[in-house]
Chain A
Amino acid sequence: MASNHSNEFKISKFEAPQNLKAIMFACLFVGLVTFILGFIKNPERMWTSYLVSFFFFGCLAVGAMFFIAFNFAVKAGWSSSIRRFAEAMTNYMPVFLISAFVLILGFKKLYVWNDPASLAALSGGKSLYLAPWFVSVRMILFIVGCWVFGKLIVGNSIKQDITGEHALTNKNIKYSIGFIAFFAIFFTMFSFDLMMSLLPTWYSTIFGIYCFAGAIQATIAVLAIIVVMMKKSKWISGYVNDEHQHDVAKFLKGFTVFWAYIAFSQFMLIWYANIPEETEYYIMRSLNGWMGVSFALLIFRFIVPFLVLLPRGAKRNDSILVAVSILVLVMQYVDIYWMVYPNFFDGIPQFGFWEIGIFLGFLGLFIMTMIQFMTKNNLVAINDPRIHEAVNHHVTY
């Protein structure tokens, strides 16, 4: 057996390091100040920035739910020792819901359809579909739905730590399949409503999958960072090792390819058909300096992570994997930014204090919810019936 299996297995209570807490409070403070300042002084920039960060962190939370769900649905064994980290990410759901209610306040600065006259002018049933109350209801339903599924699935998983009942895992399989169906429909609408409708005359049926691909890629990147950190930490020994890191890195590379595939599929069909109402979207993103951002997405979101993560050694190397994960997360932000910003400020890229401040605020909230979850619960699902598969996991070359 490989040497890393001879470790003794132990987990201890997670305590957030003081400097992490300090960073968290600093982030929260900066975020709050930016939000209030922006609300008074520069609401346009504040709301566009808010939308990008709201979508970014919301995607991480629901992406983590999706990760848990597909691992349950396929009865994956190897991931049961790292599943708890993804479960910690879903603890963001209440913040996601509250920030969605806050976002509704910003509709009038963000969306053309919030104005009744412009809404009535939209054709093809869009004036009904994009009625502000209907959009709000769909968004809230999506988040509440994810929260409820999260309570059920993660709740069962935590309960199993104490009772050790195998039936809870079987129940979670059913919930997970239900969640995947729910997620497919509602996440598509969520991305249509918040991102695609920024330009309500434009449409692309693959848009939901595009947002999904980016969201899952970013979620796996966060998971990869946590796995590397936990592997080296003093709280866990034996349960998380290079083998799990290797498989998470494979997922990261897989979804990198998936994102590129979907992004190219969307682009190529629009480019080939060359119909004015469709090309509008890409024309906006090729003028006024946006061409550089578009190419940056291609290079740093696909080509670089793909080639860097190709060798086996790179996937098992802590610093390479963390560097690629951070690059992917930066590009996920750039991707959402690239979907939102060309619609505003005469199509000229704007980036600065407002974007960074709001992002840090959300980051603080995200770290806060994760710390809260990890402090309260075990770091590993110790009584999972498949935990022995995870600790004996071995990636053959």
Chain B
Amino acid sequence: MAKKRVIGGMAAIFLKESQVLQAATAARASGFIKFDAISPYPIHGMEEACGIERSSIPYVTFGAGALGLLLSLGLVYYTSVLNWPINVGGKPMFSLPAFIPIMFELTVLFAALCSVGALFYHAKMPKIDPPTIDKDLTSHKFAIFIPENDTGYNEDRITRMMNELGAAEVKKVAEY
């Protein structure tokens, strides 16, 4: 799990979805790379605007699913064929159709649990009680947060830029 560390920075609060999308595009265009957009709901096109790459979670899901499939095949093979063979209805000990439900379930279980795990890892969760930028960010406001360790961080410049983009408020805050 990633280390939790409070980072200061500038937050610009916006009242409109279109403005925050523009602001994210502008922030990226002016060279910021570590900034984040905060919104009460997913915004179409925000990933591209912020330059967020596709996450590696789907690959984790596929790998974990494949692993689950093989492990479950090993499990049923060991228990039903090698260690404790029981004749059921005269069928061969190694009867794949009977094993498939177990293989399917374990594939899904591995894939799902590992995806959730990978999501928590990527999102640096759990974040307990982070500093609050603005309470209304969970209902009707939007924000762009630029951390102070970002390239080209300059408070005056950010304030000017964000005000030009129509920010309702630009303030100095702290975030994880």
Contact = CB atoms under 8 A, between A and B. Distances in A.
A397 B55 CA distance: 8
Contact of B44 (A1, A268, A272): A1
A394 B44 contact: yes
Interface string B42-57: 1011011000001100
B101 interface: yes
A271 B47 CA distance: 49
Contacts of A397: 47, 54-55
A1 B55 contact: no
Nearest to B101: A268
B48 A2 contact: yes
B130 interface: no
B92 to A, nearest CB: 12
Contacts of B47: 396-397
B62 A310 contact: yes
B54 A272 contact: no
B42 A396 contact: yes
Contacts of A288: none
A394 B97 contact: no
Contacts of A394: 44-45
Interface string A258-269: 000000100110
A274 interface: yes
Contacts of B98: 268, 272
B152 to A, nearest CB: 25
A5 B58 CA distance: 26
B70 interface: no
Contacts of B100: 264, 268
Contact of A274 (B21, B55, B62, B89): B89
A99 interface: no
Interface string A342-384: 0000000000000000000000000000000000000000000
Contacts of B42: 396
A392 B43 CA distance: 11
B105 to A, nearest CB: 12
A309 B30 CA distance: 38
Nearest to A269: B97
Nearest to A267: B97
Contact of A392 (B21, B44, B58): B44
Interface string A1-18: 110010000000000000
A264 B47 CA distance: 39
Contacts of B97: 264, 267-268, 271-272
Interface in B3-47: 21, 42, 44-45, 47
Nearest to B47: A396
A177 to B, nearest CB: 28
Interface string A291-329: 000000000000000000010100000000000000000
A272 B98 CA distance: 8
Contacts of A267: 97
Interface in A4-62: 5
A1 B45 CA distance: 5
A88 B89 CA distance: 51
Nearest to A311: B58
A51 B101 CA distance: 34
19 contacts: A1-B21, A1-B44, A1-B45, A1-B48, A2-B48, A264-B97, A264-B100, A267-B97, A268-B98, A268-B100, A268-B101, A271-B97, A312-B54, A312-B58, A394-B44, A396-B42, A396-B44, A397-B47, A397-B54
Question: Which 6 pairs, one residue from A and one from B, show the smallest C-beta to C-beta distance?
Answer: A394-B44, A1-B45, A397-B54, A268-B97, A271-B97, A274-B89
